[in-house]
Structure 1
Amino acid sequence: MPSRCAINETHTALLQAVHDQHAPALWRYVRRLTGDDQLAQDVVQESLLRLWNSPSVLDQGEPASRAWLFTVARNVVIDERRSARSRREVPSCVPEVTRSDPIDSALDAWVITDVLTQLTEDHRTVIVRAYYMGQSVAELAEELEVPEGTVRSRLFYGLRALRLALQERGLTRR
């Protein structure tokens, strides 16, 4: 009687041969059924896993294992379509990447610069350094020689004034 290890090696070799010979055709078949590359790959993988778990099918020979594999793949596709997950999921469309218009960017920068000039110097300084230069509240407090609470307060009131100025120009929602 052959050892378990020898049976497993034989089984693995047979499965590898079936995969090499039939996986591309199986993927094309499932791709036609589903219209989805990723789902087709998942179905092929599931079908091969089921074949791995049914070693008796491999012992029946090449034509039988091919037919069994294609039948299993078809059934997996049907099960997927009938599943509750499939009915609940809404296919998502990836939105097209919008490219920003350089004119829009220039106008936005111009408006922001104009509005920033209307703020007090203290508010403008903390906003520009925090949001444009990436400085932390602690760094700002140290450089401006004021407490961190003062920096936070200037940021809060400065951003509020900035938002109000943009609203007055009709550029943000109220």
Structure 2
Amino acid sequence: MDAQIVSDIYREHGDALRRFALRVARSQEEADDVVQETVLRVWRASPEVTGSLRSYLFATARNVIIDRHRRAAARISAIPLGEVDPESRDSTAGIAEALDRILMEEALMRLSLEHRQVVVHLHYFGSTVAQTALELQIPEGTVKSRAYYALRSLRGILAEMGVEK
């Protein structure tokens, strides 16, 4: 990968990666560092990158954020050898869960408004098809159809972002 390719990656994917990193970073500078480290890791692994570059970038960014959090936690706590700090483990799991939520929010924002509304009502509010149809003032069949196509689109979007089943 040469400088032009790295520049192209920044231009095409930098803003999306930065938004992703900003959701968990403490500052703009930290988010920028995550994006830079992500692109650097992808540049180093360029011969091994297969499939969607965007999904590889998001998966790498997720790993960079988790690695940074683990390094920071290791510097803060002095754990004697052989002991496991359950609070640190919970914190790492919490970061992973937060990143998963952020990825889902990013994916939902890429759906059309109509599809997003149906998914939010059915899966986040826990509404039934009938309740969703009434709330959105559309037929129940339309709710079912939109839910089907929305979930199909979400699978593709999440795969593009590097989220595995």
Shorter-chain TM-score bucket reads: 0.3 to 0.5
Which of the pair has the greater relative contact order for Cα pairs under 8 Å at 6+ separation?
2
Which one has the largest radius of gyration?
Answer: 1
TM-score normalised by length of structure 1: 0.41
What TM-score, normalized to structure 2? 0.44
